[in-house]
Structure 1
Amino acid sequence: MFSFLLVPKTPKPNSSPHFPSLSPTPYLHSPHTLLSRAHCPSISDAHGDDPADAAAALLERGADPREPPRLHAYMLRRRLLRAPFHWNALVRSYVRRGSPRAALRAFALMSRAGAAPDSYSLPLALKAAALVPAPLGATRQLHAASIKRGLDRSEYCESGLVSAYAKRGDFDSALQMFDENPERKLGSWNAIVSALSQGGRVEEAIDMFIGLRRSGFAPDNVTMVSVASACGGVGDLTLAEQVHACALKCARAGGRLEPTLSNAVLGMYAKCGRTDLARRVFARIPRRDVSSWTAMISGLAAHGEACAALALFRAMAQRREGPLPNRATMVAALTACAHGGMVEEGMELLQKMEEGEIAVEPTVAHYGCVVDMLGRVGRLEEARGVAERRMPMPANAVVWGTLLGACEKHGDVAIGQWAAEKLLEAEPWNDGVYVVLSNIYAGAGMWGEAERARRLMRERKVAKTPGYSSAVLFSSA
Structure 2
Amino acid sequence: MSPPIPHFLHRISIFSQIPKCLTIFPHLNHSLSSIPSTYLDSQFPTNQGPQDSIHDPAKIIATQVSNCRNLLELNQVYAQIVRTQLLDLYSAPFHWNNIIRSYTRLDAPDKALCVYVAMSRAGLLPDSYTLPIVLKSVCQFLATEFGRQLHSLAIRIGLESNEYCESGFINLYSKLGEFRNARKVFEQNRDRKLGSWNAIIGGLSQGGRAKEAIGMFLELKKCGFLPDDVTMLSVTSASGSLGDLDLALQLHKCAFQAMPIEKPGILLSNSLIDMYGKCGRTDLAYKVFSRMEERNVSSWTSMIVGYAMHGHVNEAIDCFQCMREAGVKPNHVTFVGVLSACVHGGAVQEGKYYFHMMKNAYGILPQLQHYGCMVDLLGRAGLFEEAREIILGMPMKANSIIWGCLMGACEKYGNVKIGEWVAKHLQELEPWNDGVYVVLSNIYAGRGLWKEVEMVREVMKQSRLVKIPGYSLATNSK
TM-score of the pair, normalised by structure 2: 0.82
The whole-number CA distance in structure 1 between the counterparts of 2:405 and 2:95 is: 49
Conserved? CA contact 1:52–1:75, under 8 Å: no
The unaligned stretches of length 5 or more in structure 1 are 37-46, 468-477
Among candidates 52, 56, 60, match of residue 54 of structure 1: 60
1:89 aligns with 2:93: no
- The structural deviation recorded for 1:53 is 3.7
Please tell me the residue identity of whatever aligns with 2:383.
R
CA distance 1:334–1:119, change in 2 (3 Å):
same
Listed one character per residue, the Cα deviations across residues 21-43 of structure 1 (whole Å, up to 9, x for unaligned) are 99869xxx97429969xxxxxxx
Please tell me the residue identity of whatever aligns with 1:234.
L
1:144 aligns with 2:152: yes
The whole-number CA distance in structure 2 between the counterparts of 1:153 and 1:337 is: 51
The whole-number CA distance in structure 2 between the counterparts of 1:438 and 1:335 is: 27
The whole-number CA distance in structure 1 between the counterparts of 2:220 and 2:135 is: 24
The whole-number CA distance in structure 2 between the counterparts of 1:272 and 1:192 is: 24
CA distance 1:411–1:112, change in 2 (3 Å):
farther
Please tell me the residue identity of whatever aligns with 1:258.
G
Please tell me the residue identity of whatever aligns with 1:440.
L
1:50-449 matches, within 5 Å, as 50-61=56-67, 63-81=69-87, 82-132=91-141, 136-253=144-261, 257-319=264-326, 321=327, 323-355=328-360, 357-389=361-393, 391-396=394-399, 398-423=401-426, 427-428=429-430, 431=432, 433-445=433-445, 446-449=452-455
The whole-number CA distance in structure 2 between the counterparts of 1:144 and 1:387 is: 49
Conserved? CA contact 1:107–1:125, under 8 Å: yes
Listed one character per residue, the Cα deviations across residues 439-477 of structure 1 (whole Å, up to 9, x for unaligned) are 332342344454356457657xx996987xxxxxxxxxx
The whole-number CA distance in structure 1 between the counterparts of 2:116 and 2:192 is: 27
- The structural deviation recorded for 1:165 is 0.8
- The structural deviation recorded for 1:48 is 6.5
Conserved? CA contact 1:294–1:328, under 8 Å: yes
CA distance 1:402–1:133, change in 2 (3 Å):
farther
The whole-number CA distance in structure 1 between the counterparts of 2:42 and 2:405 is: 50
Please tell me the residue identity of whatever aligns with 1:175.
R
Q: What is aligned with 2:11? A: none
The whole-number CA distance in structure 2 between the counterparts of 1:34 and 1:222 is: 44
Please tell me the residue identity of whatever aligns with 1:198.
Q
Conserved? CA contact 1:175–1:192, under 8 Å: yes
The whole-number CA distance in structure 2 between the counterparts of 1:235 and 1:315 is: 27
How many percent of aligned residue pairs carry the same amino acid?
A: 42
Q: What is aligned with 1:5? A: 21
The whole-number CA distance in structure 2 between the counterparts of 1:107 and 1:403 is: 50
Q: Pick the structure with greater CA Rg.
A: 2
Q: How many residues align?
A: 439
Please tell me the residue identity of whatever aligns with 2:239.
C
The whole-number CA distance in structure 1 between the counterparts of 2:183 and 2:414 is: 47
CA distance 1:210–1:374, change in 2 (3 Å):
same
The whole-number CA distance in structure 2 between the counterparts of 1:379 and 1:23 is: 57
SS at match of 2:323: helix
Conserved? CA contact 1:267–1:299, under 8 Å: yes
- The structural deviation recorded for 1:153 is 1.3
- The structural deviation recorded for 1:437 is 3.7
Conserved? CA contact 2:173–2:181, under 8 Å: yes
Please tell me the residue identity of whatever aligns with 2:195.
G
The unaligned stretches of length 5 or more in structure 2 are 1-16, 45-52, 446-451, 472-478
Please tell me the residue identity of whatever aligns with 2:178.
D
- The structural deviation recorded for 1:339 is 1.8
The whole-number CA distance in structure 1 between the counterparts of 2:430 and 2:155 is: 42
